[in-house]
Amino acid sequence: MKQAQSEERRAVHIAAVIMQTAGLCRYDDDNGCRRVNIPTNDDCVKCIEKWLLAKARREIKREEKRS
């Protein structure tokens, strides 16, 4: 169980790195992406990870409501 969790966590990180490399940060405004204030790629990877996880949570909630 712990193993599966860390694999999923790693998958989210890999997806975020790929998105960051492709310039696909979801935060275009100054308040969203910390990249604007602290211009390092790592910070932007973190904000993309946050976005992916928030999106997953929203989707799970929607599916729970449907069932």
From the CB of residue 39, how many other CB atoms can be counted at a distance below 10 Å?
10
Q: Angle CA(27)–CA(56)–CA(7) in degrees, nearest 5?
A: 105
Q: How far is the CB of 25 from Zn ion (least distance, A)?
A: 3
Asked if 47 interacts with Zn ion (CB under 5 A), we say: yes
Closer to Zn ion at the Cβ: 17 or 62? 17
> Positive or negative CA dihedral for 18, 24, 30, 31?
negative
Positions in 16-35 near Zn ion (CB under 5 A): 25, 33, 35
- Binding residues for Zn ion, rule: CB under 5 A, are 25, 33, 35, 44, 47
